[in-house]
Chains A and B, each alone.
Chain A
Amino acid sequence: MTAKTKDGKEVYNSEKHYHPQATTCKDNKMKYGAQVKTQYIRDTSLQPLETKTESFEIMLPEGVRAVEVTASVRYEIWKPDHMIEIHKITKHVSLDR
């Protein structure tokens, strides 16, 4: 989720990560490798037939009355640069009528 002013300045940037997270159970460090993962300790993934809702409150800086917000859903595969942007929606939002 990003918000930018009309001149392109980013005034907000936030990410939510949806995936199960596991440790070895021997310490509290998250691990990725199947050969060491033992138990999920948290699961923020998208669940079947469920809707994941979020509400982002973007406090605008002094003098900014309108922004372009962009929300995108991405799927990261194996490493950050091997990524699929599934959906991307951009909307112009103004406080003034």
Chain B
Amino acid sequence: MKFLKSFLVVLLVMIPVTAFAEKAKTIEELAAMYDSSSCKECHAEIYAQWEKSHHARSLMGVLGGLFMTPLAMKDKTPFSPDDPSQATLDTFPCFKCHLPQAVTSGSDDFAKDYAKALVAQDKERIGKLNISCLVCHNTKAIIHKRDEGHPEKGVLYSTKAVKSHDHPDFKTVKKSSIMDHSIMCGQCHGQGPNLEFENPVQCATLYGSYQHNYLSKGGQKSCQECHMGDNADHLFAPNWNDLEGTKKLLQEAISLDIDTVGYDWLLKSKDYKPVVVVNTRINTTAGHRIPDG
């Protein structure tokens, strides 16, 4: 009887813990766990900017392409399972940045569901997953976890603390130590090959370029200063699907000058060759190599 009482007490204590630790098994479950649509009620302008950003379609690539499809197809990549039904979270190393919540809150069943959706090219379902407000303002907001602990459930993190936040599930906003620093973006807009996986994965190397080849030349702007500006634009330009907008941004960062000269070149005695020489200079003020991501 005493054992049964102890068991019941332990069980009662465990229930909330297991409920919190429940992992998403489907695309819809994970999308619901990180649904940020309620944010737009008060932050409509920011939400509208974000909706046009690549963060809002982090699994869709440029022009809606489902870039992870080869990972779900047999023999297409070193990570590919024999069948989508055998996929696990390890099948998709790209989740590290393109869907961090899958790593923290998704299960292998979710990976199977996602793999099947990729093979079926189900853009509607996959389009429900994204780098939502909660990913940056909670999951990725703390990197000094030994000093500051893990991001708390029901807490948002931003550049400033807000004592009272009018949201039923997120009543508190705490200050993030990194939200206005380049390392916030550098968590995903990376440094080089990711060697923690069983095969190397190399995607963005932009933050490495920023650290080693921009700061070293005296550059002092942060990612946020250029890509969000004074008004905290959550488009995080460029939006590669918007060619005109991207062109404007590239024109601001890159310049082209040319000089020309035409003359008869006396390459050898009595043998003039007509030549035109064009000297070009391409200059960039960006804080990283172009192209990178």
- The residues in A between 43 and 64 inclusive whose CB is less than 8 angstroms from any CB of B are 43, 45-60, 64
Most chain B beta carbons < 10 A, residue from A19, A37, A67, A75: A75
Taking a contact as CB atoms under 8 Å apart, the answer to whether B276 and A3 are in contact is yes
Chain B positions within 8 Å of A53 at CB level:
279-282
A94 with B262: in contact, given A46-B282, A52-B282 (CB under 8 Å)?
Answer: yes
Interface mask (A4-46 → B, CB under 8 Å = 1, otherwise 0): 0000000000000011101011000000011111111001011
- The residues in B between 245 and 281 inclusive whose CB is less than 8 angstroms from any CB of A are 246-247, 250-251, 254-258, 260-264, 273-281
Taking a contact as CB atoms under 8 Å apart, the answer to whether B250 and A84 are in contact is yes
* Distance A89 CA – B256 CA, assembled complex (angstroms): 8
* Distance A25 CA – B291 CA, assembled complex (angstroms): 21
Q: How far is the CB of B237 from chain A (nearest CB, A)?
A: 13
Chain A positions within 8 Å of B200 at CB level:
24-25, 37-39
Taking a contact as CB atoms under 8 Å apart, the answer to whether A20 and B289 are in contact is yes
Taking a contact as CB atoms under 8 Å apart, the answer to whether A59 and B273 are in contact is yes
The answer, among A55, A64, A87, A95, for a CB contact under 8 Å with B256, is A87
Interface residues on A, range: 35 or more
Does B61 sit within 8 A of A, measured CB to CB?
yes
Q: How far is the CB of A51 from chain B (nearest CB, A)?
A: 5
Interface mask (B201-220 → A, CB under 8 Å = 1, otherwise 0): 11101000110011001110
Q: How far is the CB of A50 from chain B (nearest CB, A)?
A: 7
Taking a contact as CB atoms under 8 Å apart, the answer to whether A34 and B203 are in contact is yes
Chain B positions within 8 Å of A3 at CB level:
276
Interface mask (B33-60 → A, CB under 8 Å = 1, otherwise 0): 0000000000000000000000000000
* Distance A34 CA – B188 CA, assembled complex (angstroms): 13
Interface mask (B180-202 → A, CB under 8 Å = 1, otherwise 0): 00000000000001000001111
4 smallest beta-carbon distances between A and B, as pairs: A34-B203, A87-B256, A37-B202, A48-B214
19 A-B pairs, CB-CB below 8 angstroms?
A1-B280, A3-B276, A18-B290, A20-B205, A20-B292, A24-B200, A33-B70, A34-B201, A35-B70, A39-B202, A46-B254, A55-B278, A58-B276, A59-B273, A59-B274, A75-B250, A82-B63, A84-B243, A91-B258
Identify the B interface with A (CB < 8 A). Answer: 61-63, 65, 70-71, 77-79, 93-94, 193, 199-203, 205, 209-210, 213-214, 217-219, 240, 243, 246-247, 250-251, 254-258, 260-264, 273-292
Identify the A interface with B (CB < 8 A). Answer: 1, 3, 18-20, 22, 24-25, 33-40, 43, 45-60, 64-67, 69, 71-73, 75, 77-78, 82, 84-87, 89, 91, 93-95
